[in-house]
């Protein structure tokens, strides 16, 4: 008990009625905790209600007295708020404003100075996001063919198998075993909303299926071929196709897209090339997959200079031209800084045979 207040004390059987009346009068103090004993419930109030406002004062079902109440500590709304008072001002500036949450796994990226406080920050994050179980700390970049990142578990059970929801779709995945980023959720919607009925789409680097499945759910008449080389990602891709009930529209193909592109029954009108650091090496495969009359390529590339968009465009158009196709750039955007001076670029490209 740490603060005295005027209280309305109601007989237990009348407590709900009294609470409703006090709340509608706007005199209930919400910063203090209501408590009860064997017979009565104690409500902290801002002023004494009139008997005509609270008839229970006349019938003897409620009375007014002073009581001591516990203060209610408001739940922090952000990670920064939750860390207030734990770190000094300088360190507080380093606390990240944003972080990724995939299902019930949160992923933190921390400045060196905050590393000694990683566990405190992870606990604070769990306080703000109650549904989060495991908190991971990024310990390196996404690398290798499978684009997997190393992490340390800094809070929770350490279970990284989870189910993530996005745009009404569900994705089962293991954060440690496959590539997945919620930061591309806007891109998935942008690409899927361009797809027209009956298109044939090739998702050349499909991962656990977020582009393919978003497209399949938004445009049910489409046929989508989803290629994936990581056996674990492929297993989740197959599972997610079933989970989202798009088996009739999405075909998952295991292995290197370079060796499997012939599987398509017809040529693709649209291609998704989400492999930023090496998609350019697969433009020749894209051209073999694409309808010669024309196709749209959603290309994700990376560059290290200030004119990332221009650099990627020049590289892509010279490769496409050398393969006997024209490239017309329809749209371009810098997506995010993935490492110092490295920028991922999204391009929509119309390609057609010369």
Ligand X SMILES: C[S@@+](CC[C@H](N)C(=O)[O-])C[C@H]1O[C@@H](n2cnc3c(N)ncnc32)[C@H](O)[C@@H]1O
Across 250-264, b (16+ Cβ under 10 Å) vs e yields bbbbbeebeebbeeb
Residue 113 half-sphere exposure toward CB, CA atoms < 13 A: 10
| CA-based nearest residue to 230, from 277, 179, 268 | 179
| Contact between 207 and ligand X per CB under 6 A | yes
Task: Give the range of 61-69, 255-263, 332-340, 346-354 binding ligand X by CB under 6 A.
Answer: 255-263
Q: C-beta of 197: minimal distance to ligand X in Å?
A: 23
| Contact between 228 and ligand X per CB under 6 A | yes
Q: What is the x/- site pattern for ligand X, positions 26-65, by CB under 6 A?
A: ----------------------------------------
Q: Which of 99, 211, 236, 325 binds ligand X (CB under 6 A)?
A: 211
| Contact between 184 and ligand X per CB under 6 A | yes
| Contact between 244 and ligand X per CB under 6 A | no
Q: C-beta of 135: minimal distance to ligand X in Å?
A: 21
The pair of three-digit structure tokens given for residue 131, joined into one six-digit string: 């549904």
| CA-based nearest residue to 349, from 298, 274, 293 | 298
Residue 214: burial class (beta carbons within 10 Å; 0-12, 13-18, 19+): buried
Q: Which of 180, 225, 236, 261 binds ligand X (CB under 6 A)?
A: 180
| Contact between 206 and ligand X per CB under 6 A | yes
Total residues at interface with ligand X (CB under 6 A): 21
Residue 138: burial class (beta carbons within 10 Å; 0-12, 13-18, 19+): middle
| Contact between 271 and ligand X per CB under 6 A | no
- CA 297, CA 272: separation in Å to the nearest integer? 6
Cβ atoms of 122 and 105 within 8 Å: the answer is no
Rg from Cα positions in the chain: 29
Task: Give the range of 17-25, 95-103, 177-185, 319-327 binding ligand X by CB under 6 A.
Answer: 177-185
| Contact between 274 and ligand X per CB under 6 A | yes
Q: Interface residues for ligand X in 127-146 (CB under 6 A)?
A: 145-146
What residue ranges bind ligand X (CB under 6 A)? 145-147, 179-180, 184, 205-207, 210-211, 227-230, 233, 256-258, 274-275
């Amino acid at each position: 008990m740490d603060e005295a207040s005027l209280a309305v004390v109601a007989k237990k059987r009348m407590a709900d009625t009294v609470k409703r009346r006090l709340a509608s009068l706007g005199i209930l103090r919400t910063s203090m905790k209501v408590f009860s004993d064997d017979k009565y419930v104690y409500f902290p109030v801002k002023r004494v209600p009139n008997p005509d406002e609270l008839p229970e004062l006349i019938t003897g079902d409620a009375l007014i007295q002073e009581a001591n109440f516990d203060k209610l500590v408001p739940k922090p709304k952000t990670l920064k708020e939750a860390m207030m008072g734990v770190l000094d001002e300088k360190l507080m500036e380093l606390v990240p404003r944003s972080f990724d949450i995939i299902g019930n796994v949160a992923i933190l990226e921390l400045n060196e100075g905050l590393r000694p406080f990683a566990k405190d920050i992870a606990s604070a994050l769990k306080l703000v996001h109650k549904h989060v179980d495991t908190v991971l700390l990024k310990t390196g970049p996404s690398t290798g063919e499978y684009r997997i990142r190393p992490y340390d578990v800094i809070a929770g059970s350490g279970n990284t198998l989870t189910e993530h929801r996005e745009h009404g779709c569900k994705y089962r995945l293991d954060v440690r075993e496959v590539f997945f980023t919620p930061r591309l959720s806007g891109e998935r919607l942008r690409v899927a909303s361009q797809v027209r009925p009956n298109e044939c789409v090739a998702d050349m680097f499909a991962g656990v299926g977020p582009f393919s499945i978003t497209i399949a759910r938004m445009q049910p008449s489409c046929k989508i071929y989803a290629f994936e080389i990581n056996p674990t990602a492929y297993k989740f891709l197959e599972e997610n196709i079933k989970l989202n009930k798009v088996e009739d529209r999405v075909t998952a193909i295991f292995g290197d897209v370079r060796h499997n592109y012939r599987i398509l029954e017809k040529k693709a009108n649209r291609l998704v090339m989400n492999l930023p650091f090496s998609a350019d090496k697969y433009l020749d495969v894209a051209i073999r997959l694409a309808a010669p009359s024309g196709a749209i390529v959603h290309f994700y590339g990376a560059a290290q200079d200030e004119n990332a968009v221009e650099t990627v465009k020049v590289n892509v158009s010279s490769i496409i031209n050398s393969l006997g196709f024209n490239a017309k750039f329809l749209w371009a955007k810098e997506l995010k800084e993935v490492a110092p001076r490295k920028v991922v670029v999204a391009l929509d490209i119309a390609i057609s045979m010369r």
